[in-house]
Structure formats: structure tokens, C-alpha cells
Amino acid sequence: MRIDKFLKVSRIIKRRTMANQACTQGRVTINGKIAKPGSEVKAGDKIEILFGEEVRAYEVLDVSEHVAKKDATSMYRIL
């Protein structure tokens, strides 16, 4: 799954356009490498996102196309 779509489906970032912008601006990394919006993400990957001055890290647990809002947090683990 594309990183921009994963961030939206998992509700880490609320809108796909915002996720796309974060990737384009170099604020998202996958396993230490700067991610483009179309970069693929899979279970086990480590994602780091720069929110302002704060870096948040996540581990991808599941990659599903459609997830209910209440189940979205099961797609990742906060590190």
C-alpha cells in the first residue's frame, strides 16, 4: 500500500492530501529513508513523521485497504 494512503486509512493523518504533502516535503521516513507519496509500506516497517518540532515513530502492524474508524489504531503501534 502507498504510504500516503496508509497514513490516511490508519488515521495517523486525517486527509490523504495532507499525507501526500508531508511526504513531498520530506517529513516522512520509512525505515530511515525519506518516503515519496507513492512509496510502498508493508507490515513490520518503521515510519517516522515530523509533526512541527516533534518526531513520532510508528511500526506498521497491518496493511488493509478499508478499516473501520474504531479499528484504525490496530494497523500500527506507537514506538
Q: What is the DSSP letter of 77?
A: E
- Return the pLDDT at 54: 95
- Return the pLDDT at 66: 87
Domain count, the chain: 1
- Return the pLDDT at 28: 97
Q: Domain holding 34: CATH number?
A: 3.10.290.10
The pLDDT profile of the chain, 79 residues, written as one tens digit per residue, is 999 999 999 999 999 999 999 999 999 999 999 999 999 999 999 999 999 899 999 999 999 888 899 999 999 999 9
Range of the domain at 65: 3-78
Q: How many CA atoms lie within 13 A of 79 on its CB side?
A: 14
Buried residues in 1-35 as b, exposed as e (16+ CB within 10 A): bbbbbbbbbbebbeebeebbebbeeebbbbeeeeb
